[in-house]
Structure 1
Amino acid sequence: MSVAPYPNWLRPPVDGYTAEDLDRLPDLPPHTELLDGSLIFVSPQTKFHVRTKRLLERALEEAAPEGWEVWPEMGVTLDRRNRPEPDLLVVDVASDTGYLQTNFNAEHVLLAIEVVSQESRERDREVKPRKYATAGIPHFWRVECDEGRPVVHTYELDPATRLYGLTGIHHKQLKLDRPFQVDIDLT
């Protein structure tokens, strides 16, 4: 019995991978992200994660104003060495480059949403929000699990500091007028 050799991408280049490399590397696991030039592989999603993502996606699709659309699990190129894949994005429809598009540029993203998982807690709470803010994404939501129910932490970018400021923690109802009017029952 012969064992297949490891794929070449397991040995990263000296300077790390680039955002463009994610589209060229063969046989990457689905939903591979790039942070600081390193490949990040995501673990299987929990029922909470999938259910919460669906709830928010449906509500945002109904609420998004003309000219904006909601995308689940699409990469966002923040810079040459960072291309994370938020759970949900709200993007400018003008950023559509066709059916083979695999990611959006940060300047076209209005809102990035991360549903926190056990294995990605530090990335979703600290690393990704900092990178999204630096890239200029105006709004960020972090969703935590509280006994099986979503708790949504909403943030808005301060353009002077390029840091997010907390605008609310929503336990039962997510009712906002920014980035656009939304009213979601979280129970």
Structure 2
Amino acid sequence: MSAARDYGLDDDYEWPRPPEGGWTADDLDELPNLPPHTELIDGSLVFVSPQTAFHMRTIRLLDRALSDQAPDEFEIYREFTVTLNDRNRPEPDVIVARAGADLGPKQTRLLHGDVLLAAEVVSEDSIDRDRETKPHKYAAAGITHYWRIEQNNGLPVVYVYELESTAMTYVPTGIFHNRLKLTVPFLIDIDLTAVNRRR
């Protein structure tokens, strides 16, 4: 099977060739026929692997629970890009943003100043990005909260970080198995063992 078909594209698909200096955040809206969930990291396009069942179910669990529990001043997004700067536009799996960040149905991204939480569900191909690259970039952009979610025996384990604003780096505040209970960015209580439930 060809690399293009791995991303649901025709075999004769022509991969985009980067301009000198790399792509910019605005280019993601202009490039035709990119594979779903293409991200921009350091001016390079990143194509993600097909999603696993664990990944999809964990995103669904977090999206539903956060949407149910968020106060009106927050909006929950899933798999939506965030412009951190001109050369970085990643796509966190789940985002908590200020409700005022919603600019309408044609909006294609959020700006980092509107994002309070970025959450990433780790996949085999995203380990280094989710453990090292993305948290560094999210912290440098001033995003206050970061969650990294890993799989352990079929259940999500949530590693929670908060921004230390003097150094602009994340510090760990907890590792959560079975139940995620937090008071920031709002009161959160999620049964992580419910990841495989349909409702």
TM range (shorter): over 0.9
Secondary structure of the corresponding residue to residue 120 of structure 1:
helix
Q: Which residue of 1 aligns with 2:7?
A: none
| Aligned equivalent of 1:15 | 21
Matched, 1:100 2:106: yes
Q: How many Å separate the matches in 2 of 1:55 and 1:171?
A: 14
Q: What count of residue pairs does the alignment treat as equivalent?
A: 183
**Alignment of 1:157 onto 2:141:** no
Please, which of 6, 10, 21 is the counterpart of residue 14 of structure 2? 6
Which residues in structure 2 correspond to 1:73-152 (within 5 Å)?
73-152=79-158
Distance 1:5 1:165, change over 3 A: closer
Question: Percent identity, aligned pairs only?
Answer: 57
Q: Which residue of 2 aligns with 1:47?
A: 53
What is the RMSD computed on CA atoms of the aligned residues?
1.1
Offset at 1:96? Answer: 1.4
- Unpaired segments ≥5 residues, structure 2: 1-10, 194-199
Corresponding residue of 2:39 = 33
> Shift of the alpha carbon at 1:6?
2.0
TM-score, normalization by structure 2: 0.90
In the aligned structure 2, how far is the partner of 1:40 from the partner of 1:144? 20
TM-score between the two structures when normalised by the length of structure 1: 0.95
Structure 1 gaps of 5+ residues are: none
Secondary structure of the residue that 2:149 maps to in structure 1? strand
